[in-house]
Amino acid sequence: MTVLGIETSCDETAVGIAVDGRKLLSNVVASSMDLHAKYGGVVPEIAARSHIEAILPVLEESMDQAKCTWQDIDALAVTYGAGLGGSLLIGVLAARTLAIAKHKPLYAINHVEAHLYVNFLTDISLPGYTPRNSQPAFPILGIIVSGGHSQLVLFRNHFGYTLLGQTQDDAIGEAFDKVAKIIGLPYPGGVNVSKLADHGNPQAFKLPKAKMPHKYDFSFSGLKTAVLRLSQQQVGADFTLPSGKLPGLLSDAQKADIAASFQRVGIETIVDKAVEASKEFHPASVIIGGGVAANGELRRQLAERLPTPENGGPTPIEYPDMKLCTDNGAMIATLGCYKASLHQPEADPYSLEIAPNLSM
């Protein structure tokens, strides 16, 4: 079963091809990130226009990389939510058109679920990729940490899962991006906060962890506001200081300490709950997906605190290759393989709609 996956939910135009949900043949990603950088975040209209320009060249390059012709493709898969409406539309319309023109079955993919499915890829011969040693075993504890979602999910089998908890306000990636803005780091914020945090003291400042009524839910908006207040306090200003002036008043050392302290507490919040869920549900494996899965501090804290074989526990955790953490088509193709082989319902190529607010 060879599936071609199309992803256009945000600012990446991406097409990947996977076989049987474990082998990756191609993964091509074009990002319009540079065009958004000067605005400090993704501009939906620019993202949508960039998808229109990039979708066909990316599709062609992905087919070339996989050395596939249309005869080799058994099915198509496309992200139909969650994401930016204008961006999703381009991918969905491209996939619908191709499904009709090439006579292929079409599967509608939930972007957030797909972030976790990238962990099923074990056979990757593309240059520069580190494959996993083995596929995760059920029951699986899934940790989703992206720019739009922070969720803990327990999978009993491929399409049987329970959402244990999720953020009630900002996602963890969104909090990284907002902290980047507060201390004046360029877009994309998350990776820049993480790089700067390497030079700071993670214990420099005490920042709050939200206490939630439901133990597996998250909240990051209070932490973000605490970072803003801390930054204002560090330069001797109050909330009346225009936010644009703040980065210029903070020293490099202050910024690094703020980044490191924020990162420690934000990541600890995720890891606290992952450890608790792991103790309660005894998963056979733990998987992680979404852009923040690339964060080194998250990987360090999980390795230190999750009951994994490395520290005497029973639960193995392996991480996706860094290039498969942020948005990509490989994850869409991989989930598409399982939808097709496990006889999940096909989408109608004449009527599939986007679902910008889709949840798990």
| From Zn ion, ligand KG4, none, interface partner of 173 (C-beta below 5 to 8 A by class) | ligand KG4
From the list 30-38, 142-150, 312-320, 337-345, the region that binds ligand KG4 by CB under 6 A is: 142-150
For 113, other C-beta atoms within 10 Å of its C-beta total: 22
Q: Phi-psi bin for 249: left (phi > 0), alpha (psi -120 to 50), beta?
A: alpha
DSSP type of residue 40: T
Q: Quick check: 295 binds ligand KG4 (CB under 6 A)?
A: yes
Q: Tell me the one-letter amino acid at 323.
A: K
The pair of structure tokens assigned to 98 is 């191709």
In the complex, the smallest distance separating the C-beta of residue 191 from ligand KG4, rounded to whole angstroms, is: 4
Q: Quick check: 11 binds Zn ion (CB under 5 A)?
A: no
Among 327, 329, 347, 355, binds ligand KG4 (CB under 6 A): 327
Backbone angles phi, psi at 110, to 5 degrees: -80, 115
Q: Tell me the one-letter amino acid at 98.
A: L
Q: Determine the distance from the C-alpha atom of residue 282 to the mean position of all C-alpha atoms in its chain, rounded to a whole number.
A: 24
Tell me the C-alpha distance between 226 and 337, whole Å. Answer: 43
Q: Which is nearer to ligand KG4, 320 or 349 (CB)?
A: 320
Tell me the C-alpha distance between 346 and 339, whole Å. Answer: 8
Q: Binding to Zn ion (CB under 5 A): which residues in 137-196? A: 146
Q: Which is nearer to ligand KG4, 30 or 98 (CB)?
A: 30
User: What is the per-residue binding string for ligand KG4 in 188-217, x denoting contact by CB under 6 A?
Assistant: xxxx--x-----------------------
From the list 52-60, 216-224, 236-244, 290-298, the region that binds ligand KG4 by CB under 6 A is: 290-298
Tokens 């066909």, located at residue: 56
Q: Binding to ligand KG4 (CB under 6 A): which residues in 105-134? A: 115
Q: Which is nearer to Zn ion, 146 or 301 (CB)?
A: 146
Which run of H or of E encompasses 164? strand 160-166
Q: Binding to ligand KG4 (CB under 6 A): which residues in 164-183? A: 173-174, 176-177
Question: ω into residue 188 within 30 of 0, thus cis?
Answer: yes
Question: Which residues make Cβ contacts (< 8 Å) with residue 354, sequence separation at least 6?
Answer: 80, 81, 83, 85, 88, 89, 92
Among 89, 270, 292, 306, binds ligand KG4 (CB under 6 A): 292
In the complex, the smallest distance separating the C-beta of residue 40 from ligand KG4, rounded to whole angstroms, is: 12
Q: Binding to Zn ion (CB under 5 A): which residues in 109-148? A: 146
CB 10 within 8 A of CB 32: no
Q: Which is nearer to ligand KG4, 104 or 149 (CB)?
A: 149
Tell me the C-alpha distance between 172 and 167, whole Å. Answer: 8
For 350, other C-beta atoms within 10 Å of its C-beta total: 9
Say how many Å lie between the first and final Cα of the chain, rounded. 25
Q: Quick check: 148 binds ligand KG4 (CB under 6 A)?
A: yes
In the complex, the smallest distance separating the C-beta of residue 322 from ligand KG4, rounded to whole angstroms, is: 8
Q: Quick check: 327 binds Zn ion (CB under 5 A)?
A: yes
| From ligand KG4, Zn ion, none, interface partner of 292 (C-beta below 5 to 8 A by class) | ligand KG4
Which residues are at the interface with ligand KG4 (CB under 6 A)? 10, 115, 146-148, 173-174, 176-177, 188-191, 194, 290-292, 294-295, 326-327
Which residues are at the interface with Zn ion (CB under 5 A)? 146, 327
